[in-house]
Chain A
Amino acid sequence: MKHITLLAVAALSASGVIPAQSAFAQSATLDKIEASGTITIGYRESSIPFSYLDDTQQPIGFSIDLCARVFERIEAELGIDELKIEKIPVNSSNRIPIIQNGTVDLECGSTVNNAQRQEQVSFSVATFMTEPTWLVRSDSGFGGSADLAGQTVVVTQGSNAVGFAQSLNAEQGLNLNIIQARDHAESFLTLGTGRAVAFLEDDILLAGLRATSPEPEAFSLVPSGFASTPYALMFAKDDAEFKALVDDVLSGLMASGEFVEIYNKWFTQPIPPNGENLAFPIGDALQEKIDNPSDAID
């Protein structure tokens, strides 16, 4: 039916009766996917369990699985048999520019949805709720942000944790020395070798790094006092049709219970490559988002 419509449109526009129009007048992303038969996604290399490399250096994870459901819908919608998937590694610093310039159509990682970023890109409904937390050595005795006064802490360059650490420093006068490492793996190494006493990042990313480390019990999570923020899939701004498609897929998964299955596969069961179990059940904030899918940020 769609193809006949397209043919008719093409024939009529060629005769000058109606102006030529693309099938998805409002969605540059879907047009591009249809024209090339390829979708390009961005993945993270060490954002366990959302998007990370397994031992064959292929990206796997919770966000990758959600994106796979989106691909199935796109294949159905565009009538493509086998959508080719290009995968590009991204990191905290380049994930937004790479969406803006169109290199990546959909970022399947661990990106926080906030007002500032919404000026540059669009987000799907929330796929996860997270809280910035400190990762410290269990034997260090730190119980909260105030205990870290005068200490050296580490954050990842480009993460919103940099802003949190700096604002915490300014507001509470903690006089922190803040090391900014290149990515989460380097930040964890900075903590592990004793160069810093605490690593500020979203709780789930810390849980993942801890679980895959040689001695998980050596590290503990300590609340920082910051509020929960939503993770979501990220794509180009002003593409309402693509957003509607992605949101529809995610809402459908949440309503049918498949979302909870995918969640449990990655958060409460052993995950590759070493079979660690994050033991991170669905929290209240996320349950609320599953019951009422929303991309609100508050």
Chain B
Amino acid sequence: MFDVLFRQAPDGQLYIDWIWSGLGWTLLLAFFGWWIAFVLGVVVGVARTMSNPVIASLGRAYVEIFRNVPLLVQMFLWYFVMPELLPTQIGNAIKQIPPPWGSFWPALICLSLYTSARVAEQVRAGIEALPSGQREAAAALGLSTGRTYRLVLIPQALRLIVPSLTSEVMGIYKNTSVALTIGLLELTAQARAISEATFQTFVAFAAATIIYLLLALCAYQLMIFIDERVRIPGTEVKRAKQSLHRLLFRKSGAST
């Protein structure tokens, strides 16, 4: 079924090379996008929990803007609108960046900011989930706000939210496909190009689907590994191991 991918494409390469090229751009965009989003997300999430009302409002505004505007609209704004708003010389210089980098940088900025807003909310939830006694004890010990966050609150909060960050990690890999609308030929764009060139739509998109699934599974396994390593003891959810047989045939009330 997938043998069409090993035929020669109009530009001399094999179609499978188009897939690898697309995958490369997807991974590049998602990997660096994630790290930028994570750092920004922690900063903004912390800002949202601070008692200073100005900082907290700025954090709130950041999250509301980047989370509520659809990702596609944000892509267009960064790619088409942003160079027009800057001074002409800078705008023209940006517009002359040759493809694919001309599409990559706006896509990276857009995806990072969008994901960072979501990470910020997770971080905020993690910090707020900590008992208020943590903050009070740190104050009693004489720690400044900065040191309280750095030494007490953030280390605990981040370890609490690793499972919910998993969906953000998997999400950013999937959201890279939106970049095709501004001309970045990542995996989905290459699948469309192969489908148009060979008319084998099912094969092209099946290949892309399988690759996205594998990426998601890898991300998931990695996050489980990280979670097991950094999890705060005592915060795991205990699950009684029940066999299917027991579930179906034992009367209720049976548990380990």
Contacts and interface: CB of A to CB of B under 8 A. Distances in A.
A38 interface: no
A193 B83 contact: yes
A179 B102 contact: yes
B102 A195 contact: yes
B10 A120 contact: no
Interface stretch (A15-23, A61-69, A160-168): A160-168
A166 B196 contact: no
Contacts of A189: 80
A97 B199 CA distance: 7
Given A158-B193, A193-B80, A163 B10 contact: yes
Given A189-B80, A194-B95, A180 B183 contact: yes
B233 to A, nearest CB: 50
Interface residues of A, number: 30
B84 interface: yes
B195 A194 contact: no
B95 A162 contact: no
A195 to B, nearest CB: 5
Interface string A179-207: 11110001001100111000000000000
A202 to B, nearest CB: 16
B99 A178 contact: yes
A97 B195 contact: yes
Interface in B185-220: 185, 189, 192-193, 195-197, 199, 201
B201 A179 contact: no
B181 interface: yes
Interface in A95-141: 96-97, 100, 116-117, 119-120
Nearest to A186: B181
A189 B183 CA distance: 12
A92 interface: yes
Given A178-B99, A194-B95, A166 B10 contact: yes
B180 interface: yes
B189 A157 contact: yes
Interface in B152-196: 180-183, 185, 189, 192-193, 195-196
A117 to B, nearest CB: 8
A contact face: mostly helix, strand, loop, or mixed: mixed
Nearest to B97: A195
A152 interface: yes
A158 B192 contact: yes
Nearest to B193: A157
Nearest to B84: A193
Given A178-B99, A193-B95, A93 B181 contact: no
Nearest to B76: A186
A94 B201 CA distance: 9
Given A93-B195, A182-B180, A170 B99 contact: no
Contacts of A163: 10, 197
A178 B92 CA distance: 18
A170 B11 contact: yes
A149 B176 CA distance: 31
Interface of B: 10-12, 80, 83-84, 92, 95-96, 98-99, 102-103, 180-183, 185, 189, 192-193, 195-197, 199, 201
28 contacts: A93-B196, A96-B196, A96-B199, A96-B201, A97-B195, A97-B199, A97-B201, A100-B199, A117-B199, A120-B199, A157-B180, A157-B196, A158-B193, A158-B196, A162-B193, A162-B196, A163-B10, A166-B11, A177-B98, A177-B99, A178-B99, A181-B182, A186-B181, A193-B95, A194-B92, A194-B95, A195-B95, A195-B102
